[in-house]
């Protein structure tokens, strides 16, 4: 199978070859003909499968070849709308649109919150063919009357499961209500929970369903280890490991960006060179951090899951989970960064009592037990009590035997109608384990979410001093 076989127009083939792709990935081989053929699509695919090109290439093809009511030389209208849960992903997707439309007269733009609206309004005024946006900012533009969505012919909901996890269900519904009823809609999701199925039913018309294999297996060449440790000694243990083993090029993961910043501050005080890479960093700061890390100047790069997705670093000798991800699939993504060609990579997780439930979910997903190995002098207190993990306004119970994560402290709708309460993804009652393969627990990557103060507390690894959260369900 080649891209030529898929019937894409020449300028797209040229851009794809320049991007260095020779063969379509499985999701592309299925999604491209499905989208070209017309009709709606429900696609199960995770990041890293090539899903972005899977929807972008056929959309660009259709934008170039299908009829439009637009007068030649007249104002461009948004004909394709791609909605993503986070700013990082929106920026990445729009970058892909640019790469693939390099040889086409297509204009695209990305719009997300946290930055000024005026340049976005100006871009809309000049006219666009493809808009990539996060839901909150899209609705802000709509409310202000700066965005006309009445010409949308193609609509993509990317990482729909993550959108629900992040509480965007009301925003999605609002967006759907302002889009023209006649359009081709594509829904991409890593999981097919009941909520996703309900959303698909609402959004899609007799969709074609495709699903590519999940990437749950972890490479045999990666040596995985868990170091049980008390939550307030993780930073010390990490420094100890780096220094005693003389580690270089260590990629360290935290759940939230504030945790990443605090860890970097600590490491610098211990004379370990470190930088954080996450959504709040400017592009130049990220580029510099990455260059220094790759050259070996920088010993440690601390990243959040979403930030790490957008960066081209893999084949590292060491990946450390300073905090376990609450989404088991993210563990597989994280440790997939290690394992040099031929050589063994090492993935180490520093796990405190609060995270034992997360660990159990991960082991269930990868179908193996990760060996525990206490580091002398850092043994975990066997009597330590688990505490809830606070992520933004959400409180997760990561302790063993606890009920499904994703308890929400309730999120009132914020100004501009950006974010409603949690979408009710996690049907309470069921155990975390029963949920882990189909219903992801609440996401930790809340790059776009507000209320960082408590998230920071969670990330410091220190106890959370806030009062016990109101349990919404479970």
Chain positions contacting ligand AMP, by CB under 6 A: 21, 23-25, 28, 47-53
Rounded to the nearest 5 degrees, what angle is found at the Cα of 384, between the Cα atoms of 379 and 387?
125
3-state percent helix, strand, coil for the chain, nearest multiple of 5? 40, 15, 45
Spatial separation of the C-alpha atoms in residues 321 and 225, rounded to whole Å: 10
Determine the 3-state secondary structure of 106 from DSSP.
coil
As beta bridge partners, residue 302 has: 252, 276
**What are the start-end ranges of the E strands in 5-135?**
41-44, 80-83, 108-111, 130-133
Spatial separation of the C-alpha atoms in residues 28 and 34, rounded to whole Å: 10
Nearer to ligand AMP by C-beta: 309 or 473? Answer: 309
In this structure, the strands spanning 222-228 and 274-277 are unpaired
Nearer to ligand AMP by C-beta: 78 or 89? Answer: 89
Nearer to ligand AMP by C-beta: 88 or 354? Answer: 88
104 secondary structure, DSSP code = S
Nearer to ligand AMP by C-beta: 1 or 268? Answer: 1
Nearer to ligand AMP by C-beta: 13 or 472? Answer: 13
Nearer to ligand AMP by C-beta: 85 or 423? Answer: 85
Residues 6+ away with beta carbon under 8 Å from 159: 47, 84, 85, 89, 188, 189, 190
Which tokens go with 126? Answer: 């000049």
Report the phi/psi class of residue 284: left, alpha or beta, with left for phi > 0 and alpha for psi in -120 to 50: alpha
State the alpha helices, DSSP H only, in 296-447.
Answer: 305-309, 328-335, 356-366, 432-435
Angstrom CA distances, 388 to 259, 307, 455, 461, 464, stand at 16, 25, 12, 11, 8
Spatial separation of the C-alpha atoms in residues 322 and 461, rounded to whole Å: 9
130 secondary structure, DSSP code = E
Determine the 3-state secondary structure of 376 from DSSP.
coil
Spatial separation of the C-alpha atoms in residues 218 and 96, rounded to whole Å: 27
Sheet containing strand 407-408, strands side by side: 389-391, 394-396, 407-408
| Residue located via tokens 């749950």 | 216
Nearer to ligand AMP by C-beta: 20 or 296? Answer: 20
Spatial separation of the C-alpha atoms in residues 197 and 55, rounded to whole Å: 20
Kindly state the smallest distance separating residue 47's Cβ from ligand AMP, in Å. Answer: 5
Nearer to ligand AMP by C-beta: 21 or 378? Answer: 21
């Amino acid at each position: 199978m080649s891209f030529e076989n898929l019937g894409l127009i020449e300028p797209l083939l040229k851009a794809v070859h320049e991007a260095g792709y020779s063969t379509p990935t499985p999701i592309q081989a299925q999604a491209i003909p499905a989208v070209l053929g017309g009709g709606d699509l429900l696609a199960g695919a995770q990041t890293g499968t090539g899903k972005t090109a899977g929807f972008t290439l056929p959309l660009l093809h259709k934008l170039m070849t299908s009829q439009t009511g637009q007068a030649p030389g007249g104002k461009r209208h948004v004909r394709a709308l791609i909605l993503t849960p986070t700013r990082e992903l929106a920026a990445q997707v729009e970058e892909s649109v640019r790469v693939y439309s390099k040889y086409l007269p297509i204009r695209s733009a990305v719009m997300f919150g946290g930055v000024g609206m005026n340049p976005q309004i100006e871009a809309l005024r000049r006219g666009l063919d493809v808009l990539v946006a996060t839901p909150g900012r899209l609705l802000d533009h709509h409310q202000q009357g700066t965005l006309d969505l009445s010409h949308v012919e193609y609509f993509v909901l990317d990482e729909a499961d993550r959108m629900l996890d992040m509480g965007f269900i009301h925003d999605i519904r609002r967006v759907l209500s302002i889009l023209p009823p006649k359009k081709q809609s594509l829904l991409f999701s890593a999981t097919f929970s009941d909520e996703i199925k309900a959303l698909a039913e609402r959004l899609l018309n007799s969709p074609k369903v495709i699903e590519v294999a999940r990437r749950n297996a972890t490479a045999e060449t990666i040596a995985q280890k868990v170091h049980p440790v008390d939550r307030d000694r993780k930073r010390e243990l990490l420094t100890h490991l780096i220094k005693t083993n003389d580690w270089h090029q260590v990629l360290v993961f935290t759940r939230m960006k504030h945790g990443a910043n605090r860890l970097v501050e600590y490491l610098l005080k211990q004379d370990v060179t470190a930088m954080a890479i996450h959504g709040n960093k400017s592009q130049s700061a990220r580029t510099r951090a990455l260059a220094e890390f790759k050259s070996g100047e920088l010993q440690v790069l601390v990243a959040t899951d979403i930030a790490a997705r957008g960066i081209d670093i893999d084949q590292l000798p060491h990946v450390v989970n300073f905090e376990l991800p609450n989404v088991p699939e993210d563990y597989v993504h994280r440790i997939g960064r290690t394992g040099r060609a031929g050589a063994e990579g090492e993935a180490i997780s520093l796990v405190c009592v609060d995270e034992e439930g997360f660990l159990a979910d991960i082991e269930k997903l990868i179908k193996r037990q990760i060996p525990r190995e206490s580091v002398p002098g850092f043994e975990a207190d066997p009597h330590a009590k688990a505490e809830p993990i606070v992520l933004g306004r959400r409180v997760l119970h990561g302790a063993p035997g606890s009920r499904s994560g994703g308890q929400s402290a309730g999120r009132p709708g914020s100004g501009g109608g950006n974010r409603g309460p949690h979408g009710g993804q996690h049907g309470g009652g069921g155990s975390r384990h029963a949920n882990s393969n189909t219903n992801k627990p609440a996401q930790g990557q809340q790059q776009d979410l507000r209320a960082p103060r408590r998230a920071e507390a969670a990330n410091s690894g220190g106890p959370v001093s806030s009062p016990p959260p109101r349990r919404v369900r479970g």
